[in-house]
Chains A and B, each alone.
Chain A
Amino acid sequence: MIISNSVTAEAVAVRPDERAAGPAPDPWTVDGVALSSRVIMGTGGMSSLESLRSALVASEADMATVAVRRVDPAARGSLLELLREIGLRVLPNTAGCYTASEAVLTAQLARDAFETDWVKLEVIGDDRTLLPDPIELVAAAEELVEAGFVVFPYTNDDPILARRLQQVGCATVMPLGSPIGSGMGIANPHNIELIVEDAEVPVILDAGIGTASDACVAMELGCDGVLVASAVTRAQHPALMAEAIRDAVVAGRAAHRAGRIPRRRHAQASTSFAGMIEADSYGSGSGADSES
Chain B
Amino acid sequence: MSVDASVHLSVNGEPWHGPGRTTVSDIVASWCPSPNGVAVARNGEVVSKSQWATTEVSNGDRIEIVAAAAGG
A residues with a Cβ closer than 8 A to B are: 42-46, 52, 65-71, 73, 78-81, 83, 90, 92-93, 95, 105, 108-114, 180-181, 207, 227, 229-230
Contact = CB atoms under 8 A, between A and B. Distances in A.
Main secondary structure of the interface of A (DSSP, over half): mixed
Chain B: number of interface residues, binned into ranges: 20 to 34
Contacts of B37: 78, 80-81, 113-114
Contact of B72 (A45, A68, A80, A114): A45
B49 interface: yes
B39 A65 contact: no
Interface of B: 12-13, 31-33, 36-41, 44-46, 48-49, 64-72
Contacts of A92: 68
B72 A71 contact: no
Contacts of A70: 12-13, 64-66
Given A79-B68, A109-B64, 11 more contacts: A67-B71, A70-B64, A71-B12, A71-B31, A71-B65, A78-B68, A79-B69, A79-B70, A110-B39, A112-B49, A113-B66
B38 A113 contact: yes
Contact of B71 (A65, A73, A81, A109): A65
B20 to A, nearest CB: 23
Contacts of B65: 70-71
